[in-house]
Amino acid sequence: MLTLLPIITIIPIVIQCIQGLHLGGLNTLWNFLLSALTPSLSNDVVATCLHGLQITFAYAIISWLISISAGLILAFLSSYSINKIIGIPEIFTNIIRGILTLPRATHELIWGLLLLQIFGLAPWIAITAISIPYSSLMARVFAEQIDKIDLSNAIALKQVGSSKLQILISTFLPKLIPIVGIYGSYRLECAIRGATLLGVFGLGGIGTEMQLSILSLKFNEMWTSIWMLFISILILEKILEFLQKPTLYIKNIGIYTLTSIILLSCSFGLSLIWLNGLGVNLFQQINVYLFKLPSLTNLLSALIVLPWAKLLSETILLMILASGIAIGLPPLLLMILPNQFCANIFSVLWIFCRLIPTPLTTMLLLLSINPSISVAALALGIQNMGVLGRLLKQNIDKQDNKLYTAILATGSKPQLAWLYGKNVLTKQ
């Protein structure tokens, strides 16, 4: 039941949204939804969207590959288990982990805006802005997963007389590769979303196209972008699902690893060529726009002027409300309609939720609801619901149905059998 509890946050959100509702904008919102059925198919629009989509994908692939490589190196440096085997002091691991906290905690959008401020508009900024937080994020996840690996195999191989490097190769590598495959591929979709979001802020790609369409209220054109992104994500999801199948690596982990390294290296090179072909020059001259740093007096006065308590409390409230929707709604929907057909419909819904960048969802909501924390929470919650809904479905799909069918066999309603029989609480 604890998993469903956060959904109560929807009550204050709904109340505040109803209070701020203005009917004038509902018509525009309805037009937006209706345009989903009639996306623009004109050659110009399709060509522009396709061009933007390719740029977004190339940005995402390059930044993802950089993040995966850097993340793995940083994971080795920040893993307690590996450093214990090599004989590096724990303080070194703690220092690396501490350093990685800042880049991880700062959103790619903030990195993008910061880099834009210093270097001006340049294509490499999108890649760097995504790579910085994703590298440290992957480093943390990989390091945690490495530290979860049972050391008994390593001890056994030490007894065989293996060197430290042999122990790492023979025990850690085979266990790490599937983890990198699963989590790494999940991050590719995140990188695509990150690249789309940065596009909204002028860094090119499909995000820029979506932003321009919504500003000129050309919803049909916006839906061309959304549908293209949707189809691409759907295809990508299927490819990644196939590549994660244990049957691929269980027979020969070495060949699987080597093939993956070759494929990823080729993808990196091809993406660079691809971007160049699309007219994006990543290696253009770097300009630096230095700005005068504020003096200590100015910083202190800003510290006093800004209403920190209000800002912090609003941010926390926003986080709680958005998390409530994201965590509570997917299991609730799956529980109310516990059948495969509805689960598939929800999967499609999750894709749409996470595809549309939060700033654009906010703009759409603001067409008919006055600005408030609830609108921001709703927009943020919708996107995160898409992300968590996908993870929840993946985890549920991996579970067997034994417990569910056992409870169902007692004569229980499917909804209750789902609630008790699916291990939602621990898996989400």
Partner 1 sequence: MTKLLEIRDVTLESNGRKRIDSINISINHGDKIALLGKSGAGKTTLLKIINGSIKPTVGEVIFNGKNITNASNNQRRQIGSLWQDLRLIDELTVGQNVNCGALGRRGIGWAIANLFGIIEYQECLSCLDTVELSSDFINVNIQELSSGQKKRVAIARLIRQESKLIVADEPLSNLDPSLCTSILNMLLKKQSIKGINIPDSCIISLHRPDLINKFNRVIGIKAGQIIIDTENPSISSSIIKNLYS
Under the rule (CB under 8 A), what is the footprint of partner 1?
Answer: 152-153, 155-163, 165-166, 169-171, 173-175, 177-178, 249-255, 257-258
CB of 176 to partner 1, least distance (A): 9
List, in sequence order, the alpha helices (H) in 20-122. Answer: 26-34, 43-77, 80-86, 90-105, 108-119
The smaller minimum CB distance to partner 1, of residues 64 and 172, is found at 172
Are the CB atoms for 206 and 56 separated by under 8 Å? yes
CB of 249 to partner 1, least distance (A): 8
How many Cα atoms occupy the beta-carbon half-sphere of 332 within 13 Å? 15
Please report the DSSP string for 381-417 in residue order. HHHHHHHHHHHHHHHHHHS-SHHHHHHHTTT--HHHH
CB of 400 to partner 1, least distance (A): 16
CB of 257 to partner 1, least distance (A): 7
Cβ within 8 Å of residue 352, ≥6 positions away: 226, 230, 386
CB of 138 to partner 1, least distance (A): 21
The smaller minimum CB distance to partner 1, of residues 163 and 339, is found at 163
The smaller minimum CB distance to partner 1, of residues 103 and 174, is found at 174
The DSSP 8-state label assigned to residue 423 in this structure reads -
CB of 156 to partner 1, least distance (A): 4
The smaller minimum CB distance to partner 1, of residues 124 and 249, is found at 249
The Cα–Cα gap between 225 and 386 comes to 18
The smaller minimum CB distance to partner 1, of residues 82 and 132, is found at 82
**Segment (H or E) for 36:** none
CB of 79 to partner 1, least distance (A): 18
Cβ within 8 Å of residue 216, ≥6 positions away: none
The smaller minimum CB distance to partner 1, of residues 162 and 267, is found at 162
The smaller minimum CB distance to partner 1, of residues 232 and 257, is found at 257
What are the respective helix, strand and coil percentages of the chain, to the nearest 5?
A: 80, 0, 20
The Cα–Cα gap between 123 and 284 comes to 9
CB of 86 to partner 1, least distance (A): 14
The smaller minimum CB distance to partner 1, of residues 162 and 232, is found at 162
How many Cα atoms occupy the beta-carbon half-sphere of 108 within 13 Å? 31
Name the packing angle between helices 219-243 and 173-198 (round to 10°).
180
The Cα–Cα gap between 127 and 57 comes to 11
